Structure 1
Amino acid sequence: MKKRLAYLFLALTLVVLALYLFRYKRALVIESKIPITATEVVQIDLRQIEHHLLVDALKNPFKYISFETKKKEDHASFKKAIVIPRNILFFTNDSNFKSAWFSSFFKLKDRTELENYLLQQGFKTLTDEALELFGKGNIVVAISSENVLIAYKKQSHAPVNAVIQSIFNETEFYKKDVDLLKPILNSKSDITYVSSKDAFLEADFKNGLFEIKGKLHSNLFLADSYVPYSEGALAFLSTKINRNHAIFKSLLTNKNKTKFREFTKLSMDSIVNHWNGHLLFNLKAINKEIDTIVTYEYDDDFNKIEKKSVQENNVPHTAIALGSDAKLFEYFYTNNAIQVVENDTLFTAMPLYKMYAQKQKKSLTIFTQKLFDSSMLKAEKYKLNAHMDINRYLENPLEFSLIPVKNNYLQLLGRTSAKLTTNDELLIQVWLKESNRNFLGQFIKP
């Protein structure tokens, strides 16, 4: 009897192991998936990401188990509509595919189920004679025969219908042994990016950490001497932006220019023309300051009575440096954005806090402490350096904050950093407060 149980246990173990290896240890599928004109490819290893979540669920079962009884609703399912592949690929280039990122094909299981699912998710039916298309924002889902394709448009108004039709009719695809795809096959990462310009990035969901690393050849950020990361700073950014880059130019829309002028009474174009791209932002700390507010009231006999109240404010200890010759300072001064008040040179364009201005040899520096710390401006060679201690910031945030401090997902974050060296080596890291659980698992099941 004991022998039979032992054999049964061994057999079950072998079956489970075989199923595990079959599902999670099979090679990536990239053969005949990408048209030969593609020059950039992103590969997402769906099985490996699923494995991360499986391990997280086994270690933290109560995060995934709900004891609430919910009324079962009749919703269409994406899983029932298509065959979920081992991995999915997205591709683009600078010519015929330049308008969007296009996916490799999903196999269709149930057309009606997919149509219902997309409509339930807020997609709208798009008009096209040859294809069945659904759109929502920048995302387009196309159905042709037994195949489904997803496109993510780089611009919401970009036309993609004809390109999608050409992909469905494509007959020439990359073989898996081509140079462009070899880094993907050799990678063990959750997400991989390759390009014909020798760029190669890997992204991984680890315990308490999301990390992107590799080589990225981009002239958005220029190699020069910058300020190194200031130890202990709450937030830090130092770089030189290429003002002629398409991404930067895309931010200079008429809508953004109008909003900027309404808020600051200044011209965005004039500032950009006088700025050489150098940017330093250093938030060293947020200090609590107590202000005494004096008001006056009158009693029934019209006697003036002084009343004092105390107001506590969070004030940043920060410095911002913009690379420029004297012309940027002169533009601000001419337009009353810099004023001399009681022998202090103040930056008054954004009067949220009292800010001082100082004209350096190669920059304009704006800071909140009257005694400016010039050690903030030491030089080091790289393209981009950024850091933010989100956890510390949320403990004592500014009243006027661009960050939604009450966001539940933001509360999970600890700190983040990004650095791009002069050799185009990129490292981006996002740490969570809890380091014992998988990064993605914490966002799906906090």
Structure 2
Amino acid sequence: MKKKLIVLVVFLFVAIIYFVFYHKKSAFTIVSANADVIILVDAKKLTRQYVYNLAIHPSQWFGSKNENKSSISILKSGVEIPDFFQVFHLKNSRFSDWYSVFELKDKQKFITFLKQQKFTDQGNNIFRKDQVYIKLLDKNCIVGTSDQGFESIDYQMLSSSKVNILDAEELISNGLGSILFTSDKVSQNLSIELNSDEITIKNNSNSYDPAPIISKLRQTILFLETELDAKNIKTFSSLFDKTFESSSQINYLKATAELEQVNDTIITYGYDDNFNEIEKKSFQKIIQPNYVIDIQSLNIKKTEQYFQNKKWINTQKQFTAIPFQPNYIEKNTAGFEIKSTRKPIQLSPKRNENYIFVRNNALLLSSFKSLTTSEKKLISNIDYIFYGNNDQDYYLELQFKKQELPLILRW
């Protein structure tokens, strides 16, 4: 009898573990057909990683002392937690506009949850808090960083021909998730990995090792270093202007920048008691980048003409496309060089690789006045951001400052 009871308990325990951490109702997820970037995250893998890290950090077992016991958790908010989270970007929309769709189990309970989280009712079933927008439908809700795409991804109005059905489990072959880039010509699938102090996004190929270049860059003290060839210039410029690379003829870019806090003089005018005009000076501290940019072109005349047509070069030979003034643009045998004039700096050594390296700087936070407390905390915890590319291999790393708790327990 005792053996049967033990077998039953073990069976139930294994069954619970399976259904909570492994069983998926469906591997398929639906996204808008005009999505050009799709991010998928395996919720079950994320849960397993969270529970494992929680188990080895006993200090987090009883939650935060400041936690509001009466608040509704997301698990009980009336929204269905899917087996695969999906976030997507729509074609021809702003780079900052991202969306996700969730199934509603209890619409009224979810509205109560939104009000408790201090979302404001914008009308037309749209709620907003800071830069998060939520539109409620009959059976679904759309969450986005903008409300501009709500109409085109209204699942209640779309026919089956206007949506893509993806096998998320097949796409997520490694890591916690996957980023799928889709286009008429080519598609790219990158894996997402969440480690103790970093988030990496990369190809499944092991042919590109970014460790050597990252090690060299970490030994510098500069805020920004970047070196890009024509292919990478086209990739990044297409986010803002799809014709930039072909029209400008730019085939190489290298940039170096540092940040500095300087005193900015503000001059205003007033009148004294005798109505004589007087000049008043005041000072404020601002963050000013010092930089140098090397631009090489396949056709210097066409590049110069492109800059002129865009009105990016003024009569003082300043490159106005860069908002950080003053600077000076000078033509050379290979292309152009743009330098800040307040405090010129030297271009970092050419490394013959494609990369962007941004090091966190304490001065950054003072520049972002509109950020919320949580957003400032997130940025302050970042150590550096690295992007690297070698042929068909891509790698992106968000390195966070080392702390006692792993990333998954910090948020």
Please say whether Structure 1 and Structure 2 have the same fold, judged by a TM-score greater than 0.5: yes
Rounded to whole Å, the distance in 1 between the matches of 2:20 and 2:388 is 36
Rounded to whole Å, the distance in 1 between the matches of 2:53 and 2:72 is 27
* Aligned twin of 1:350: 325
Aligned positions, number: 348
3-state DSSP of counterpart to 2:200: strand
Choose from 308, 315, 336 the match for 1:335. Answer: 315
Choose from 189, 192, 196 the match for 2:178. Answer: 192
Rounded to whole Å, the distance in 1 between the matches of 2:323 and 2:108 is 60
Deviations 1:32-56 (A, max 9, x none): x437957654322222222222222
Aligned residue runs from structure 1 range 125-204, under 5 A: 126-127=123-124, 133-136=125-128, 139-144=133-138, 147-152=139-144, 156-158=147-149, 160=151, 163-167=154-158, 170=160, 181=167, 184=170, 187-194=173-180, 195=182, 197-204=186-193
Choose from 51, 56, 59 the match for 1:59. Answer: 56
Letter in 1 for 2:103: F
Choose from 110, 113, 124 the match for 1:114. Answer: 110
Rounded to whole Å, the distance in 2 between the matches of 1:422 and 1:78 is 43
Rounded to whole Å, the distance in 1 between the matches of 2:325 and 2:328 is 11
3-state DSSP of counterpart to 1:65: coil
Choose from 410, 419, 442 the match for 2:379. Answer: 410
**Structure 1 residues 436 and 275 mapped into 2: Cα distance closer, same or farther (>3 Å)?**
farther
**Structure 1 residues 185 and 81 mapped into 2: Cα distance closer, same or farther (>3 Å)?**
same
Q: Scaled by the length of structure 2, what TM-score is found?
A: 0.63
Q: Does 1:248 align with 2:228?
A: no
* Aligned twin of 1:429: 397
Rounded to whole Å, the distance in 2 between the matches of 1:64 and 1:83 is 25
Deviations 1:158-179 (A, max 9, x none): 4607843224x6499877xxxx
Q: Does 1:388 align with 2:343?
A: no
Q: Percent identity?
A: 13
Letter in 2 for 1:65: F
Shift of 1:200: 0.7
Letter in 2 for 1:416: I
Choose from 332, 337, 355 the match for 1:360. Answer: 332
Mark the structure with the bigger radius of gyration: 1
Rounded to whole Å, the distance in 2 between the matches of 1:427 and 1:419 is 5
Letter in 1 for 2:315: N
Contact 2:291 2:344 in 1 (8 A): no
Choose from 251, 254, 272 the match for 1:280. Answer: 254
* Aligned twin of 1:214: 203
Q: Scaled by the length of structure 1, what TM-score is found?
A: 0.59
Rounded to whole Å, the distance in 1 between the matches of 2:162 and 2:137 is 20
Letter in 1 for 2:202: K
Rounded to whole Å, the distance in 2 between the matches of 1:245 and 1:315 is 24
* Aligned twin of 1:419: 388
Contact 1:236 1:386 in 2 (8 A): yes
Rounded to whole Å, the distance in 2 between the matches of 1:243 and 1:185 is 23
* Aligned twin of 1:299: none
**Structure 1 residues 416 and 7 mapped into 2: Cα distance closer, same or farther (>3 Å)?**
farther
Contact 1:281 1:318 in 2 (8 A): yes
Give me the CA root mean square deviation.
5.2
Contact 2:189 2:203 in 1 (8 A): yes
Rounded to whole Å, the distance in 2 between the matches of 1:182 and 1:83 is 17
Contact 1:281 1:320 in 2 (8 A): yes
Choose from 24, 27, 31 the match for 1:30. Answer: 27
Which structure 2 segments of 5+ residues have no match? 205-212, 263-285
**Structure 1 residues 430 and 333 mapped into 2: Cα distance closer, same or farther (>3 Å)?**
closer
**Structure 1 residues 189 and 27 mapped into 2: Cα distance closer, same or farther (>3 Å)?**
farther
Rounded to whole Å, the distance in 2 between the matches of 1:51 and 1:336 is 60
Shift of 1:92: 7.0
Letter in 2 for 1:124: D
Which stretch has the larger CA shift, 317-326 or 41-50?
Answer: 317-326
**Structure 1 residues 388 and 439 mapped into 2: Cα distance closer, same or farther (>3 Å)?**
same
